[in-house]
Structure 1
Amino acid sequence: MNPLQNTEPKEVFKWFYEISQVPRGSGNERAISDFLVKFAKDRNLEVHQDKAMNVIIKKPGTAGYEKSPTVIIQGHMDMVCEKEASSNHDFLKDPIKFVVKGEMLYADKTTLGGDDGIAVAYALTVLDSKDIPHPPLEVLITTEEETGMGGAMALTDEHLQGTRLLNIDSEEEGVFLVSCAGGANVHVFFDIKKETAKGKFLKITVGGLLGGHSGIEINKQRANSIKLLGRILYNIKQNEKINIVEISGGSKHNAIAKDAHAVIAAENTEAVLKIVEKLAADFKGEYRAVDKLLTVTANETQNSSGQMFTKELTLNLIDFMASIPNGVQYMSMEIPGLVQTSLNNGVLEEIDERIKFTTSVRSSVKSALDEIVDILRIQAERCGAEFKKISEYPAWEYSPDSPVRDAAVNVYKKLNKKDPVITAIHAGLECGLLKKTLPKVDAVSFGPNLYDVHTPNEHMDIASVERVWKFLLAYLAELNN
């Protein structure tokens, strides 16, 4: 049941609820993509679905707007799938359950999918309406934004003629984004080599971290569990003989890793436990202001496989984990308070007989992005690993002349009697890729208040959704020339 069925804007929350009944994690978008196609066909709207499952729905302008330049309303259909350890939610088949707490909408121990389901809900409401004035529309809903912007990368200009782009993938009301960072994902692979296990076994776990969006919240200096685990293992190997038995951490390249663990074989477990205990205290001191629930534990365990990583692989893995950078690297020299360059060690996993690291690198300066990628390459090669750079995407550069931005500012001022904030963001928006595909596009990005995205604590400001909806309606009405 939709707890917001009687809350304004009713139609927006209706459609947000409807799409939340359809599993739509990144890479699992076929069902939601087909849902959007059916929605359009049921209303006799022109619709196109490409091989990447991107959907474009077209609607003619309303009376008086028929000859206005076409407006593109854009968002992405996929969502980050994160849940609390106690949740039994299956993102492949279960609907998202809404929980209202005061003025906020949460999910039940999972990500909510407001990023970017609210854009889809806004767009469907406009498409479904018969009385909302608007120019000719092209609603573009992309796939795999959260895992490297695969949908936007695959997009062509075949079915898009619009030159005015409204990206609804921002998370702070009253803030208009006009530029964003570019980025690249990096994979580093270690071939797994094992030998017969010996010694006693300990499971070391780092947990209790907040995590968060690796672009928007990287400036909050939250702890990264993979990095902390690397520091622990490095300190242990400097003093004791150990071999790694298994290791993993994080879940998404663009989410700050909030849990990680390693099982190790050690000769002197008592000494290892003392090292872990000291580092646990150190970490709690370092992060007491931002990750108050941080935990580090080490407990005796069993090794059912009877094997462990070789000494060479163990040392190479630990050296790589401990030596690679993480977090903010450079601040912008032009925009005070804006992160220019950062990276996030997002995922550490064992897959296909290899250990795979996935790191997300972001920067608004291409040369600085290249520098960090080169550092990762150098460290990977020094540690005997294979390096791959994948899914690089361009920055969205600031345009000093932007009628779309100016119109947004004017409408916002009329509605709210104050100026909006015009700024850039240290995260990848699809605007950079879309401007590459559609060079003549003039773009602005906005959205309602969303908090703790990419975490099970994600929540959306219900009243903000209504205010931004009223802004969108006024904005569309303004775009008639």
Structure 2
Amino acid sequence: MASSSATRIDASEGEIMTRCYDFFKETCKFPHGSYNEKQLSDYLVEFAKKNDLKVIQDDMFNVVIYKDATPGYEDHDTLMLQAHMDMVDEKNKESNHDFTKDPIEIIEMEDGWIKANGTTLGADDGIGTAYMLAILEDKTLEHPALECVFTVQEEVGLFGAMNLKAEYFKAKNAISLDGGDEKTLLSSAGGRRVEIKIPMGCQPVHTKGLRIMVRGLQGGHSGGSIDKELGNSNKIMGRVLYHLQKAVDIRLVSIEGGSKDNAIPRENDAVIAYDEKDHDQVLAIIKKQEEDIFALLEFSDAGFKLSVEEETVSQSMSKYNTKQFIRFLYLLPNGLISKSMNIPGLTLTSLNVGVISCNEVSIVIHLSLRSAYNESIDEMTYSIKELCDLFEYSMSTDSSYPGWRYKEINPLRDVICETYKDMTGNEMEKVAAHGGNECGILESILDNPNIANLGPCMKYIHTPQETLQLESFDRMYDVLVNVIKKL
């Protein structure tokens, strides 16, 4: 690993750690789930003031910190560094963590990786925030003028980036630090969020109640993991309810699954009402579905299981409303829609049935649509609207954001790849990504920029199993520092 001024030796641990890891741990002290970034945003502003750096904080709590070019770099093109400060706040069912106030509890594992205690870690994109803070603090680093951009609400629709003003920036080059696995992105998908509302129409019931629970799924990023044949708890529950409904008279009492539309849901709880005479048949159908679904997921999501608990119920949807909802959920598309025939392994278009919630009035379903092509997002939207119209359900859309199209010629990307090879001896893999990021928005704000992307090795982002490799975290910081020197 190349040395940098931000590298120190932690003698008590005997490991090389970087200053940016200190900053990562510092940011974990602040709640920073989407829509709850103000405390972290204010911390960034105070950091800038403490270091005598010009700073802008806008009305959404985006932050831009400016650092003048060092001697000899005054005539070099301004460089933007960019990351989002919000994280996906997912946790295990048994966790009591409160994302509105509790710090992320970091666990350092013996194999050199870190994770959080029962929650998402927030390495997506806390690593980018930490990298920029370390660079801004470093008074010995040689660099052109820097514009360090910390955005909010990326994970819920890239809202923060869409609020940025072109007059904030002069950058001709921009490096997105929302990457991973020591790869550089060639492109990313655009996306749209869809909300569907279904009336409950509850009625009193005097029957037996049963809670059906989907558990043990891995979950994952609804872009990067959508092609891995992982189980979607909401769609699995739709299948179970469909087969129950075909055989016995059931009525839906409630259904809850997933917490973020950009994360593949791992759990779902549905409560049904049914006649006690059908009890054995209901349990047999659930058992058969568990066996059949496990056979499909054995090699991709082997932790899957179904379990049941008796439940006291007093009201439910009507028989007709139950039947219509179950049919709708069963028919609703999900998962991989199409793959590229040009770039191996690239998902072009997908849909994630991310969240189902309900109250006494309605059931609400949130979907995440992604595609490299805006027209494909439109076509999916039209298709879902037609399905909703057939069932007389209401549908709305928001948070449409553009994709970042592949450019064959990209000098900035070339510098990053050359630097990585020089420092590691390995070729940096170039990938086209199905996940969304803010590069498409940055491209629309800046004047014909070169945009590239990098980040360290992470696993299982958007899930409580999220991990970050510290050695890679250090290594990619050093790559970034050396890239900046070359610019």
TM normalised by structure 2 equals: 0.95
Asked whether the 8 Å contact 1:254–1:344 carries over to 2, the reply is yes
The CA distance in 2 between the partners of 1:352 and 1:73, in whole Å, is 46
Asked whether the 8 Å contact 2:186–2:432 carries over to 1, the reply is yes
The CA distance in 2 between the partners of 1:204 and 1:85, in whole Å, is 15
1:161 maps to what in 2?
A: 170
Shift of 1:266: 0.8
Equivalent position SS for 2:307 = strand
Shift of 1:450: 0.6
Percent identity (aligned): 37
**Which of 381, 406, 409 does residue 417 from structure 2 map onto?**
409
1:25 maps to what in 2?
A: 33
Say yes or no: does 1:293 pair with 2:303: yes
Amino acid at match of 1:272: V
**Which of 245, 251, 270 does residue 253 from structure 2 map onto?**
245
Write out per-residue CA displacement over residues 136-162 of structure 1, whole angstroms, 9 at most, x where no aligned residue: 000001001111111012222121111
Say yes or no: does 1:8 pair with 2:24: no
1:446 maps to what in 2?
A: 454
Amino acid at match of 2:450: D
1:116 maps to what in 2?
A: 125
**Which of 167, 171, 189 does residue 180 from structure 2 map onto?**
171
Equivalent position SS for 2:263 = coil
The CA distance in 2 between the partners of 1:286 and 1:393, in whole Å, is 34
Equivalent position SS for 2:16 = coil
The CA distance in 1 between the partners of 2:75 and 2:328, in whole Å, is 59
Shift of 1:413: 2.2
1:322-401 superposed matches below 5 A: 322-350=330-358, 353-401=361-409
The CA distance in 1 between the partners of 2:187 and 2:359, in whole Å, is 36
Equivalent position SS for 2:485 = helix
**Which of 266, 287, 294 does residue 277 from structure 1 map onto?**
287
Write out per-residue CA displacement over residues 265-299 of structure 1, whole angstroms, 9 at most, x where no aligned residue: 11222221111110011111110112111111223
Equivalent position SS for 2:264 = coil
Moved more, 49-58 or 86-95: 86-95
Moved more, 437-446 or 12-21: 437-446
Equivalent position SS for 1:263 = strand
List alignment gaps of at least 5 residues for structure 2.
Answer: 1-9
Say yes or no: does 1:188 pair with 2:196: yes
Amino acid at match of 1:299: E
Equivalent position SS for 2:381 = helix
Asked whether the 8 Å contact 2:200–2:360 carries over to 1, the reply is no
Asked whether the 8 Å contact 1:184–1:391 carries over to 2, the reply is yes
Shift of 1:122: 0.4
**Which of 230, 236, 240 does residue 238 from structure 2 map onto?**
230
Shift of 1:468: 0.3
The CA distance in 1 between the partners of 2:169 and 2:12, in whole Å, is 34
1:205 maps to what in 2?
A: 213
Say yes or no: does 1:145 pair with 2:151: no
Amino acid at match of 2:295: G
Equivalent position SS for 2:64 = strand
In structure 2, the CA distance between the partners of 1:143 and 1:246, relative to structure 1 (3 Å rule), is same
In structure 2, the CA distance between the partners of 1:184 and 1:6, relative to structure 1 (3 Å rule), is farther
1:425 maps to what in 2?
A: 433
Amino acid at match of 1:127: L
Asked whether the 8 Å contact 1:316–1:384 carries over to 2, the reply is no
The CA distance in 1 between the partners of 2:451 and 2:380, in whole Å, is 29
Shift of 1:353: 2.5
The CA distance in 2 between the partners of 1:395 and 1:91, in whole Å, is 30
Write out per-residue CA displacement over residues 360-410 of structure 1, whole angstroms, 9 at most, x where no aligned residue: 011112222222222211111112210111111111001122121122122
Shift of 1:206: 0.7
Shift of 1:351: 5.0
CA RMSD across the alignment: 1.6
Equivalent position SS for 1:118 = helix
1:103 maps to what in 2?
A: 112
In structure 2, the CA distance between the partners of 1:124 and 1:4, relative to structure 1 (3 Å rule), is farther
Equivalent position SS for 1:238 = helix
The CA distance in 2 between the partners of 1:6 and 1:428, in whole Å, is 38
The CA distance in 2 between the partners of 1:84 and 1:348, in whole Å, is 17
TM normalised by structure 1 equals: 0.96
Amino acid at match of 1:160: F
Asked whether the 8 Å contact 1:4–1:13 carries over to 2, the reply is no
Asked whether the 8 Å contact 1:69–1:136 carries over to 2, the reply is yes
Equivalent position SS for 1:152 = helix
List alignment gaps of at least 5 residues for structure 1.
Answer: none
The CA distance in 2 between the partners of 1:59 and 1:261, in whole Å, is 50
In structure 2, the CA distance between the partners of 1:5 and 1:65, relative to structure 1 (3 Å rule), is farther
Shift of 1:438: 2.1
Equivalent position SS for 2:303 = coil
Amino acid at match of 1:130: K
Amino acid at match of 1:316: Q
1:136 maps to what in 2?
A: 145
Write out per-residue CA displacement over residues 50-80 of structure 1, whole angstroms, 9 at most, x where no aligned residue: 1111100000011211221110000000001
In structure 2, the CA distance between the partners of 1:463 and 1:127, relative to structure 1 (3 Å rule), is same
**Which of 60, 75, 84 does residue 68 from structure 2 map onto?**
60
In structure 2, the CA distance between the partners of 1:363 and 1:339, relative to structure 1 (3 Å rule), is same
In structure 2, the CA distance between the partners of 1:9 and 1:476, relative to structure 1 (3 Å rule), is farther
Instruction: Tell me the number of residue pairs that the alignment of Structure 1 and Structure 2 aligns.
Output: 475
Amino acid at match of 1:39: F
Amino acid at match of 1:114: A
**Which of 41, 48, 55 does residue 56 from structure 2 map onto?**
48
Write out per-residue CA displacement over residues 95-128 of structure 1, whole angstroms, 9 at most, x where no aligned residue: 1111111210111111111000010000000001
2:225 maps to what in 1?
A: 217
Moved more, 293-302 or 119-128: 293-302
In structure 2, the CA distance between the partners of 1:352 and 1:270, relative to structure 1 (3 Å rule), is closer
